[in-house]
Structure 1
Amino acid sequence: MSEHEKLNYVEFPSKKLTETKAFFEQAFGWSFTDYGPEYTAFSNQGLDGGFFKADMSSSTENGAALLVFYSNDLEGTQEKVTRAGGEIAKPIFSFPGGRRFHFTEPCGNEFAVWSDLEVQ
């Protein structure tokens, strides 16, 4: 079953944990538990996980897996992403079964958001 804006454990790199945390707190309402200065974890997002300090980012251009959020309001979620400092990598487009967009958070990790609902 699809859940609105939820991801179950995955880990991502982050050049600046503070910026990554701030983005996800603002855009999606996430909360974090810090485990020292180089790791922070999130839970209850459909997929638990964390971010570790590293000088790299996760991008499909480099062959990384793409984690995709679900949204009941694709345009509204896209607006929240940009307001929080995310950059739209691929604007909303249609595909068989729905519509989606791709974005990067401030430290460059790429994610996508999809919906099976029509434009509201």
Structure 2
Amino acid sequence: MAVTKQAQTHHTIDYIELAAPDLGAARDFYSAAFGWEFNDYGGEYAGIRAADGEGEVGGLNPDGAPGPGGALVLLYSDDLDATVAAVRDAGGEISRDPYEFPGGRRFYFRDPAGNELGVWTSA
């Protein structure tokens, strides 16, 4: 599949890369939990396709070192409770149960490699 070039915007987040020492397991997890699709680069890297299928928004890097403590990537959910269940069903670990904050609710999880991400929904 040819990757479509997306327009970049000065000083905005352009791409997120997650450490994925086991590239296959990471692809399986994110596909099962969130329905993500990937561009495969010969088993050495997987680009995360944009939701509209045009370009990429990030990647899975098998050379990275996973773990909590870096930048926190937040995903949005229309149904937070269903997303918690999907993360668990896909093999993720909920590291902080859903809680309320001004403007909505959120939770944190660790993927099978140990990367910590969050998911939020509006109030």
TM-score category of the 2 structures, normalised to the smaller one: 0.7 to 0.9
- What is the match of residue 9 of structure 2? none
User: Structure 2: which 5+ runs fail to align?
Assistant: 1-13
The CA distance in 2 between the partners of 1:107 and 1:45, in whole Å, is: 23
Identity of aligned residues (%): 40
Per-residue CA distance 1:73-92 (angstroms, 9 max, x = gap): 11011000100001001001
Matched, 1:39 2:45: yes
2:26 aligned to 16, 20, 26, which one?
Answer: 20
Shift of 1:36: 2.3
2:20–2:61 Cα contact (<8 Å) kept: yes
Alignment of 1:65-80 (within 5 A): 65-80=71-86
1:12–1:58 Cα contact (<8 Å) kept: no
Q: Give the aligned length.
A: 107
Shift of 1:58: 4.0
Alignment of 1:80-119 (within 5 A): 80-117=86-123
Compare relative contact order (CA 8 Å, sep 6+) and give the higher one, 1 or 2: 1
- What is the match of residue 3 of structure 1? none
Matched, 1:53 2:25: no
User: Structure 1: which 5+ runs fail to align?
Assistant: 1-7
Moved over 3 A (4+): none
